[in-house]
Chains A and B, each alone.
Chain A
Amino acid sequence: MKIMKKFSICLGSLLIGSLLSMQAVAGNNKKYSNLLSGLGLEYEVNAGTSIGGASPLPLPAEIRHIDSYNPKLNLQLGATVTKWLDPDKVWGAAIGVRVESRGMETKARVKNYGMEILDNQKKLSGRWTGRVHTKYQSQQLVFPITAVFRAHPRLKINLGPYLAYAFSNDFDGYVYDGYLREGNPTGDKYIFEDDSKASYDFGSELRHFQWGMQAGVAWTAYRHLLVNANLTWGCNDIFKSSFKTVSFNLYPIYLNVGFGYLF
């Protein structure tokens, strides 16, 4: 939680800083623009927020009902360089870097769901039927490599893979209002009711390297102002493959919406 707060402050100050620098740059902008466009390069800084979650695809049968879903406020800040490959600037390639926060908080009702409670170097694992509260929060450095196509003088479409490194990972929560079968569905039954909760923490089981696909559009609203919308779709499970307790794969799927400044 502390890390999250710190991160938000950092991101906020970076955002303000970059906006200020944009203004500063805007002064002798024309010269820059001419220089850059001469090389067929285009630079952009962008900031935004993303909404989404880490979801199994499709939702496994173990999940019976989603009681609540909170996407959390996920901020992101980045920069993109586009190299236009033709003089008309129709086709191009872009690489970018962005710092991104991904998170969600869900409450769900599950049936026969793999669960593991860790304490004292031992684990109580089994099948849980009841309610599960999950919090996922990941801070990542993301590098998208995309092809860019200008569909309209003011509209760019991008599509391509991204690589991500998660430098901070949390996946925890608790189970309540249900029962655990120790080991497997034939194991001893332990009922958790009223105030009885058992917490779990799978944070250390999350993988650091992720990759996926990104597809998006950028609308040039004004000469330097872009409105961006990108869908990022993780292609590998957020958990390490050695982690078997969550019996299905969770894929991070986020829609980022934000603004960019085009130099």
Chain B
Amino acid sequence: MKPIYRIFLMCLIAIGAVGCIQEEPLNAECDIIAVTLPGNVLNRAPRIDNDKVVLIVKNDVSLLALAPEFELTPGATISPASGTTLNFIFPQTYTVTSEDGKWSKRYTVEVQRNNTISLDYGFEHVRQISALGGACHYDEFYETGTAGNETLVWATANSAFAMTLQGSTPNTFPTYQGDGGVNGKCAVLVTRGTGSFGARVGKPIAAGSLFIGNFDGTNALKNPLQATHFGTPFYNIPSTLSGYYKYIPGDTYCEADANGNFLPVPGKEDMFNIYAVLFESVPGMEWLDGTNVLAADNPNIIATAEIPDRHASDDWVNFTVPFKFRDGKTIDPDKLAAGNYSITVVMSSSQDGDFFCGAIGSTLCVDELLITCLTDN
């Protein structure tokens, strides 16, 4: 009988070994979670991406000696150390190392002050961003100033689209640079299907989008309307928005029903949108998002420029629309000088795309956008 007991004993030991949860491994992540600057010097909340931090400071703050303090993934370390005083005339590089010591990530930390964005956009400059370990590439538009310096990076939802595994080359993404612009290249925005992955997470389409602000890809699945952070500080009084567009709606307009099924709506045609919004950035609403960017009851919106008679067209359509101030809203010169106002320009190939309604294939081309400002500012 003895061997039987031995077998049972072995089994018991084995089951014991299987059943034990080991001690929690050390954290492998190395993120900057929060950044603070001593004193009341920030003009906007810090923008923290996966490998970049942008700090927008008030106009009277010197960039020569700043000592940002960082909150990191628990257990991670940063070099140079948190609180080190550095010169931020040019961006600084920090390295964060994970608690388990196996991973590290380099962050560029950039401090902006009185950063005047360019006002005319030809969409001539793109760089390719690689995703999924090099399996796909998408375009990122940026604008340069007269000195060739980069003044603005346009935001898109391309990074979230990469995750749906439907993209490969830049022109398979919702937003890319196309040929045949009014002058040179143009921006092309296409409403795309998001495949089985997108359908499973209840997001069957991705409208082509291009906007001034930044896109929070981390929360794009959880809360897509709030993933678009619209706006950048603006120091001028805008008067008109002008440019050129071409628009071909997709064949079948669809809406998601209550169960998340994407169903055709007979007789309905897709429509694009291009608009600009000037708003006051206040604590609690530093940026606008998909839930409130055009809301009539948003008290922080100062003026909007919208195209009233948008229509489908195979040829370039020129438009010039004024910034219309909302009732009772004016610009306070002190707030303007202090950088309390923000502006955004938003383009979408399906105007209700943020609610996942639209027609796959709807294509909007945009070129030579221009924000005209009052010259006496």
Q: Is the CB of B1 within 8 A of A152?
A: yes
Q: Which of A39-69 contact B (CB under 8 A)?
A: 55, 57-66
Q: Which residues of B contact A157 (CB under 8 A)?
A: 3-4, 7
Q: Is the CB of A186 within 8 A of B103?
A: yes
Docked complex Cα distance between A157 and B201 (Å): 53
Known contacts: A57-B18, A58-B18, A195-B201. The answer to whether A151 contacts B24 by CB under 8 A is: no
Q: Is the CB of A120 within 8 A of B165?
A: yes
Q: Which residues of A contact B132 (CB under 8 A)?
A: 122-124, 182-183
Q: Which residues of A contact B219 (CB under 8 A)?
A: 191
Q: Is the CB of A112 within 8 A of B163?
A: no
User: Which residue on chain A has the smallest CB distance to residue B16?
Assistant: A58
User: Which residue on chain A has the smallest CB distance to residue B73?
Assistant: A185
A145 interfacial contact with B, CB 8 Å:
no
Q: Is the CB of A59 within 8 A of B165?
A: no
Q: Is the CB of A253 within 8 A of B18?
A: yes
A231 interfacial contact with B, CB 8 Å:
yes
B200 interfacial contact with A, CB 8 Å:
yes
Known contacts: A62-B25, A157-B3, A217-B4. The answer to whether A197 contacts B200 by CB under 8 A is: yes
Q: Is the CB of B105 within 8 A of A186?
A: yes
A residues with a Cβ closer than 8 A to B are 55, 57-66, 111-112, 117-120, 122-125, 127, 149, 151-152, 155, 157, 179, 181-199, 215, 217, 231, 233, 253, 255
Q: Which of B4-22 contact A (CB under 8 A)?
A: 4, 7, 11, 14, 17-22
B333 interfacial contact with A, CB 8 Å:
no
Contact partner of A127 among B28, B168, B218, B220, CB < 8 A? B28
B166 interfacial contact with A, CB 8 Å:
yes
Smallest distance from the beta carbon of A151 to chain B beta carbons, Å? Answer: 6
Count of B interface residues, CB-CB < 8 Å: 48
Q: Which residues of A contact B160 (CB under 8 A)?
A: 190
Docked complex Cα distance between A191 and B50 (Å): 13
B314 interfacial contact with A, CB 8 Å:
no
Docked complex Cα distance between A192 and B17 (Å): 32
Q: Is the CB of A119 within 8 A of B1?
A: no
Docked complex Cα distance between A61 and B27 (Å): 12
Known contacts: A57-B17, A186-B104. The answer to whether A199 contacts B200 by CB under 8 A is: yes
B317 interfacial contact with A, CB 8 Å:
no
Q: Which of B131-146 contact A (CB under 8 A)?
A: 131-133, 135-136
Docked complex Cα distance between A215 and B159 (Å): 53
Docked complex Cα distance between A63 and B19 (Å): 11
Give 11 pairs: A residue, B residue, CB < 8 Å, sorted on A: A59-B20, A59-B22, A64-B24, A112-B29, A119-B164, A119-B165, A120-B166, A124-B132, A188-B131, A197-B200, A198-B200
| Tally of A-B Cβ pairs under 8 angstroms | 131
Docked complex Cα distance between A248 and B81 (Å): 36
Q: Is the CB of A59 within 8 A of B21?
A: yes
Q: Is the CB of B202 within 8 A of A195?
A: yes
Q: Which residues of B contact A57 (CB under 8 A)?
A: 14, 17-18
Q: Which residues of B contact A149 (CB under 8 A)?
A: 3
Q: Is the CB of B3 within 8 A of A151?
A: yes
Q: Which residues of A contact B105 (CB under 8 A)?
A: 186
Docked complex Cα distance between A78 and B21 (Å): 36
Q: Is the CB of B23 within 8 A of A61?
A: yes
Q: Which residues of B contact A58 (CB under 8 A)?
A: 17-18, 20, 22
Q: Is the CB of A190 within 8 A of B220?
A: yes
Counting from the closest, the 4 A-B pairs by CB-CB distance are A185-B28, A122-B165, A61-B25, A61-B22
Docked complex Cα distance between A188 and B132 (Å): 10
B195 interfacial contact with A, CB 8 Å:
yes
Q: Is the CB of B136 within 8 A of A186?
A: no
Q: Which residues of A contact B4 (CB under 8 A)?
A: 151, 155, 157, 217
Docked complex Cα distance between A122 and B168 (Å): 9
Docked complex Cα distance between A65 and B24 (Å): 10
1/0 contact trace for B199-237 toward A, CB 8 Å? 011100000000000000111111000000000000000
Docked complex Cα distance between A124 and B30 (Å): 21
Q: Is the CB of B133 within 8 A of A190?
A: no
Q: Is the CB of A188 within 8 A of B165?
A: no
Docked complex Cα distance between A215 and B202 (Å): 49
Smallest distance from the beta carbon of B212 to chain A beta carbons, Å? Answer: 22
B90 interfacial contact with A, CB 8 Å:
no
Docked complex Cα distance between A198 and B30 (Å): 24
Docked complex Cα distance between A124 and B166 (Å): 11
User: Which residue on chain A has the smallest CB distance to residue B198?
Assistant: A119
User: Which residue on chain B has the smallest CB distance to residue A129?
Assistant: B29
Q: Is the CB of A196 within 8 A of B103?
A: no
Q: Which residues of A contact B222 (CB under 8 A)?
A: 191-194, 196
Known contacts: A119-B197, A231-B7. The answer to whether A55 contacts B104 by CB under 8 A is: no
Q: Is the CB of B1 within 8 A of A192?
A: no
Q: Is the CB of A253 within 8 A of B14?
A: yes
Q: Which residues of A contact B31 (CB under 8 A)?
A: 189
11 additional A-B pairs beyond A111-B24, A182-B131, beta carbons within 8 Å, are A58-B17, A58-B20, A122-B165, A151-B1, A151-B3, A152-B1, A157-B7, A179-B218, A181-B29, A185-B30, A186-B29
